[in-house]
Chains A and B, each alone.
Chain A
Amino acid sequence: MKLGNLFKVAMNALRRNKMRSFLTMLGIIIGVASVITMLAIGQGSKKSIEDQIASMGSNMLFVIPGSMRMGGVQQGSSGSQRLTIADMNAIRTGCDAIIAVSPEVRASGQAVYGSSNWPTTIYGGNEQYLEIKSWAIVSGRNFTADEAKGSAKVCLIGRTVADELFGEGIDPTGESVRFKNIPFRIIGLLKEKGQNSFGQDQDDVLIAPYTTVQKRILAQTYIQSIQMSAKNAEASVLAQQQVEEVLRRTHKLRENENNDFEIRSQEELATTMTSVTDILTILLGAIAGISLLVGGIGIMNIMYVSVTERTREIGLRMSIGGQGKDILLQFLIESIMLSVFGGLIGILLGFAASKVVGALTSWPITVMWSSVILSFAVCTVIGVFFGWYPARRASELDPIDALRYE
């Protein structure tokens, strides 16, 4: 029989049992829709974490003091005073994979304006700090290199602090705010970043020149960390090596001595964070995949029933000249049609479900084309695989027995 006719025959057979065909397809529909939706959710949560990490800085690396031994006692890293401005300058001159570098010092305290006060953290950096940390300025300006070096009493204010001290939505640029009794002139308002992936409010900050924070607030000369930007994402690993070499040299460490500092990169952080969502995606995908498999078994089951039910039809088709391959193809096409139609409907449903989930969670949910293509291909394979055995059995029937079948 010609292929076109076989399609017509299969189509008619499915139409004759509309309800059954639909219920059989339902397994595939749910399977495909859940594969697409689950992968979209997994991808969406990964994207949202990546976005958050990207908001922390651009190709950022940072150095923090490492733990060290002092007279045989292992010390915590936070209290160590190992990083200095000299280290930072050595990195600036010695590492060509680094394009921006800034010290970071921070202090917690109460910010006061008029009768309002708010507990916040002041970060001290140089003029490149904003660039490294991917901060944008809504109004006003960044502090200059001279201000950074000259302990100028200027600061940039985060949205949350501005809201708390000056009121919702007000631009406080030009106003003055006191932090630990030091008056700072607000020279700029920072663009909102939102929460980071740990749920911390990134906008609850003041940013000031590091010299100001060091001398006027903390009264110390060392710095808490060095923040850097690599040239690009690819240069991140190279930058890390260069920084390590430079710091080992400036810290005069011998071959057998451990680093007294630690270098972390945004890349690393992103990898760690997304590996969790990758596992989540695989898990969700696997569960959805199982439901797709169950749908496939449903098709096989129905095809077996269909072959048994239509034994006489098979006998008749054989007796009037149908060959084994005609019968095989007839049933195979029927099961492929079930799975492919089910797959198409499932894809549409998957898109719809992803949109709904996206709207409910405000995650940046995007349906991956690869998941659509994958699940569609899996569907077709399921149709062939699970249709093959029943179809094979039909084609191997003996026409005499089949005609006599009650």
Chain B
Amino acid sequence: MSAIINISSLKKDYYIGEVTVHALRGIDLQISQGEFVAIMGASGSGKSTMLNIIGCLDRPTSGTYYLDGINVAELSKNERAAIRNRKIGFVFQAYNLLSRTSALENVELPLMYNPGIKAKERKERALAALEAVGLQERMDHMPNQLSGGQQQRVAIARSLVNDPVVILADEATGNLDTRTSYEIMALLQELNEKGKTIVFVTHEPDIARCGTRNIVFRDGHLIRQEEVSNRLIATETLKALPVEED
């Protein structure tokens, strides 16, 4: 399998006043097509910085980062925006859906920033993405008419719609209860089965076990990475959960 993310000796420093914060102190990381990688670590360990750099929202201070063969560290602000638009899908903890905007229009949003895609194709692709997350029935609903889990599904559909090389999820289950969390993980596992590469950040070890590989950060270093041996299959975990009576 080819590495779609190839990071070597990557460093990131922040300057706050006269103090230099070393957020990442030399990271080497390869992620291949079809992997499902969980990034773990305490707050301040550098995992969020790592995700931001992988997501081309931030650029490294030194080192190299190739995404799908492109040296991202050399790109301008606008070029990075274009890369995010074509190659990356984001899922956030707080969903970040536009309020008073229908599910379908929320999913269409990334394609609006791609001038090559006409309105008709945009709608078709957004519908297909909503179908992939099982929400085609709710396309006309506004975010406030959807549950937390449904909103996150719309957000996942939005991250899928541009057919990205990698989906980045930042604590995507952080605002959800256990059952809904596993429903979301089941959806991500299903997408991964179909070949999507997914990188996600989480605090919860159980959720991390849904991935194929776990990476642990501490104090700006990548201290451990391991293949998940006893992988959790989210659909089975869901069946084992007690059904809440309310």
Question: Which positions in A face B, CB cutoff 8 Å?
Answer: 1-2, 5, 9, 12, 16, 312-313, 315-324, 326, 399-400, 403
Does the CB pair B113–A312 fall under 8 Å?
A: no
Q: Is the CB of A319 within 8 A of B84?
A: yes
Whether B55 and A320, one on each chain, are in contact in the complex, defined by CB atoms closer than 8 angstroms, is no
Which A residues are CB-close (under 8 A) to B85? 320-321
Assess whether B113 is in contact with A1, with CB atoms less than 8 Å apart: yes
- Is B84 within 8 A of A324, CB to CB? no
Complex alpha-carbon distance, A2 and B114, angstroms: 9
**B80-103 vs A, Cβ < 8 Å mask (1 yes, 0 no):** 011011100010101010111100
Q: With a CB–CB cut-off of 8 A, which chain A residues contact B86?
A: 321
Assess whether B115 is in contact with A323, with CB atoms less than 8 Å apart: no
Chain A, residue nearest B108 (CB): A5
Contact of A16 among B57, B82, B100 (CB under 8 A): B100
A-B contact pairs, 20 of them (CB 8 A): A1-B112, A16-B100, A312-B94, A318-B57, A319-B84, A320-B84, A320-B90, A320-B109, A320-B158, A321-B86, A321-B110, A321-B113, A321-B162, A322-B113, A323-B77, A323-B78, A324-B77, A324-B78, A324-B81, A400-B57
Nearest neighbor of B79 in chain A, beta-carbon distance: A323
Minimum C-beta distance from A267 to chain B (A): 62
Alpha-carbon distance between A403 and B114 when the two chains are bound, in angstroms: 21
CB distance from A41 to the nearest CB of B (A): 43
With an 8 A cutoff between CB atoms, is B235 at the interface?
A: no
A-B pairs under 8 A by CB, number: 61
Q: Which listed residue (A312, A313, A323) contacts B81, Cβ 8 A?
A: A323
Contact indicator A399/B57 (Cβ below 8 Å): yes
A313 contacts B98, CB within 8 Å?
yes
> What is the distance, in angstroms, from B55's C-beta to the closest C-beta of chain A?
7
* In contact, B101 and A316 (Cβ under 8 angstroms): no
A1→B122 CA distance, assembly (Å): 13
Given contacts A312-B94, A318-B57, A403-B92, 9 further A-B contacts (CB under 8 A): A16-B100, A319-B57, A320-B109, A320-B113, A321-B84, A321-B85, A323-B82, A400-B57, A400-B58
CA distance A317 to B90 in the complex (A): 11
Complex formed: what's the CA distance from A320 to B155 in Å? 11
CB of B218, distance to nearest CB on chain A (Å): 21
Is there contact, CB below 8 Å, between B112 and A5?
yes
Chain B residues whose C-beta falls within 8 Å of the C-beta of A16 in the assembled complex: 99-100
The smallest beta-carbon distance between A12 and chain B, in angstroms, is 7
Closest CB in chain A relative to B228 CB, distance in Å: 28
Residues 30-47 of B at the A interface (beta carbon under 8 Å): none
Closest Cβ of chain B to A397, distance in Å, is 12
Q: Say whether A321 contacts B78, CB under 8 Å.
A: no
Say yes or no: A326-B52 contact (C-beta < 8 A), given A312-B96, A320-B85, A399-B57.
Answer: no
Partner of A403, one of B96, B109, B115: B96
Which chain B residue shows the least CB distance to A322? B113
